[in-house]
Structure 1
């Protein structure tokens, strides 16, 4: 893991790379430091934390490099941590207090700084009510749980959409915010949080960056805290989308400077924590592994099924190994209950793995296939493996199936393309939101869309450009078929024939309306029957779900498809 240059005030010992730690069945990452002042990072939840993830990780590394023992962690029920007995605000607050205790015992610190982001800032303030916290950083906090839920509901309308542009089917009793489905107990308890009704936390020094909700700064000052306030430039780019997230460097510099204020001289050498114990739950045991610059979680079943092949989960875009809405973690654990071992890994540039030399995400990068093969090395026991992934993870899954004989089956969903031109501008290619011509046609049949067109809210020019691009591509494919009527060995159809010859299998799944459906038609046949003949089975279409397959029905269907594919391998 790459760390920033150590702070000169703590020269004399190089910072130690962050190591995985666990406490009370929660997974965290600890960076040792020389200071007796330690820092706990209290992240936000769900979609916002996925967007902030890489920047949050780098903030932790920079704080550790500046000399401060630093701990970041997944709340119970989030990321790779275990499930809580009860999912509510009290559980989250208790988790922060546990993190503070870990830092005091394992890091040997005398002072503790809490740094909270968004609703994590609200939780950090609640955890500081009993005292014992020396400094508190609140980054764009919410004054109440209702304010948080209200904003998430508003944002969900733009984040959670079906491929044809229709709103995500929401259940008011169980809403989804960017794939994140809060438990009923957490929703109810968040609705009861109101910082304006609570006594100010007894924290000597507080830094609030972002809007001051409900006069929070004044209340803290009235309680005796020294409060510094300021803006949070770059909040939206930081939290809006993981693929294009930009770390708020100015804000993070202020956080580090605040942490340094009044810090005592460093004492002794960095203290390394005890090795992480496994995360456990009903039917599974999980351990962190590191290989090369990659990080992964091996999910081992309590009772292995010797007839079932292990499963390698590949990142979807830049979503971390836990998956969009924590779907991958939950799927891996449900498979473990059936006796299946799995590895969910982060490619370089994603999650907790190292950075790529070019600083870019690994989407459609050919060199990332070598990292995925290294993941197969950790799973294969001589019988082969199953690989699965969504979107760019589907792309890698297809190429692994074609190139690595150890891959017996690939179960891939919402494949964008079979082959990627490295000269293509990735950001421009992904702007159309993965919509197909059929999806655009469906969108224009919806009530109210034409009013949006007339108001200029729908970019007709961009849609037309996208449709022309698709049409030209299909004309090119048709011309190629006329000139070369039989598929070559390097064509998609030729590669499918090759892996089928060795007994391997490809299962293609799409949300209805995905652009990749057109890619399949171009390469494997215009009719479902023709495609099914070349694959050995039909393409599976899932209705009424989004690109990330966040609906409960889609996730259960995916689980069953993987189980069926493994059983028939």
Structure 2
């Protein structure tokens, strides 16, 4: 029994079970509060998991008759099964170094597919996607004759973490490298001209994997929040406070005496406010970059962002930017392409569109269906 430290109810339950004849082993649930209050910063309680495994292994080694002896005498090997559905066939796959990455290949049931799509994790949502949207999208594409791979990058869902990788995989070079491993898998299965689709942090990984990998012919970024990563920005803060409004904080500063109160310490802004201030200053600095050039860090970020888009334009990669109307990621878009978005005119391979009545994750069914339809319109075999 995993008990929350100092929780009287958990202790009472353990006592109750013991009094009714159960042999109870109690372990503290380390990190429970972090898990329930801030899942972004929470990490798997590996020592606790190891203790559970040891407990189960000890029970299994105890001399028993029947099923344990039968299992030892008749070992078997699990074979991956295929799932057949209307218009699609799905197969589980493990790939990458040591088979540590896991995914589902979804293929058309009848007609062969030359094109293929790789769906990249949004945040730490595993390969089914938020509210299973990725499953629905993959099967809809299969019905259109396009195969796909929805997979988990290192340390997410059913993929093992890389022992030598960073603690935070989101917005990392290692996650971008995992996308290239997914492209390798599809290539070994005979698929060419791959397409990458990613939302939020998955869009960042897909974008930068496309810049690095010449095999990609089309890229779709949904609600992207970063094109290039500022090394001075904390990933944890970016995820935790991403949807706080810079505009609201800016309005607070514009009120009479707001800036003075901030500088004198009278305005308490907390971690969220400090991060929003960081974002506000970043956006202002990048907008000044055309005049200041490479003299500033943000001038160099702006130059690097457009260098990467220039690479895709030179390779004639079809790039689609899709946003939910009013999404927080639009701030990044306006930062690099202007208040009206006129900057995309420099890239003939780049398109921009919005989807109405949708949240950042496309949670409700109507929004999910509008996103699916937009993807089907955007991606062609």
TM-score range for the pair, normalised by the shorter chain length: 0.7 to 0.9
Q: Which residue of 1 aligns with 2:44?
A: 247
* C-alpha distance in structure 1 between counterparts of 2:247 and 2:319, whole Å: 24
Q: Residue 548 of structure 1 aligns to a residue in which SS?
A: coil
Q: Contact conserved, 2:246 with 2:277, CA < 8 A, in 1?
A: no
Q: Which residue of 2 aligns with 1:402?
A: 211
Displacement of 1:341: 0.4
| Number of equivalences | 348
Q: Which residue of 1 aligns with 2:139?
A: 333
Q: Which residue of 2 aligns with 1:516?
A: 329
Displacement of 1:481: 0.5
Q: Could you list the runs of 5+ residues in structure 1 that have no partner in the other structure?
A: 1-136, 141-208, 444-457
Determine whether 1:492 maps to 2:289: no
> Of 554, 565, 568, which aligns to 2:367?
554
Determine whether 1:271 maps to 2:75: yes
Q: Could you list the runs of 5+ residues in structure 2 that have no partner in the other structure?
A: 253-266
Q: Residue 379 of structure 2 aligns to a residue in which SS?
A: helix
CA deviation digits over 1:502-553, x for unaligned, max 9? Answer: 3212111223444432222222222134435646565333344333221212
> Of 320, 323, 326, which aligns to 1:507?
320
Displacement of 1:395: 0.5
Displacement of 1:434: 3.4
Displacement of 1:291: 1.7
Q: Contact conserved, 1:436 with 1:514, CA < 8 A, in 2?
A: no
Please give the TM-score of this superposition, normalised by the length of structure 2: 0.75
Q: Contact conserved, 1:304 with 1:340, CA < 8 A, in 2?
A: no
Q: Contact conserved, 1:488 with 1:494, CA < 8 A, in 2?
A: no
* C-alpha distance in structure 1 between counterparts of 2:270 and 2:8, whole Å: 37
Q: Contact conserved, 1:299 with 1:336, CA < 8 A, in 2?
A: yes
Q: Which residue of 1 aligns with 2:32?
A: 235
Determine whether 1:319 maps to 2:132: no
Please give the TM-score of this superposition, normalised by the length of structure 1: 0.53
Q: Contact conserved, 1:493 with 1:524, CA < 8 A, in 2?
A: no
Q: Residue 168 of structure 2 aligns to a residue in which SS?
A: coil
> Of 164, 169, 178, which aligns to 1:362?
169
Q: Which residue of 2 aligns with 1:473?
A: 282
Q: Residue 181 of structure 2 aligns to a residue in which SS?
A: helix
Q: Aligned runs of 1:132-531 on 2, under 5 Å?
A: 211=9, 226=22, 228=24, 230=26, 232-239=29-36, 242-248=39-45, 251-252=48-49, 255-256=52-53, 258-259=55-56, 260-261=58-59, 263-265=61-63, 268=72, 271-292=75-96, 293-304=100-111, 306=113, 309-356=115-162, 357-358=164-165, 360-380=167-187, 381=190, 383-422=192-231, 424-438=233-247, 460-462=269-271, 464-484=273-293, 491-531=304-344
* C-alpha distance in structure 2 between counterparts of 1:210 and 1:545, whole Å: 43
> Of 347, 355, 360, which aligns to 1:542?
355
Over aligned residue pairs, what C-alpha RMSD do you find? 4.0
Q: Which residue of 2 aligns with 1:157?
A: none
Q: Contact conserved, 2:223 with 2:360, CA < 8 A, in 1?
A: yes
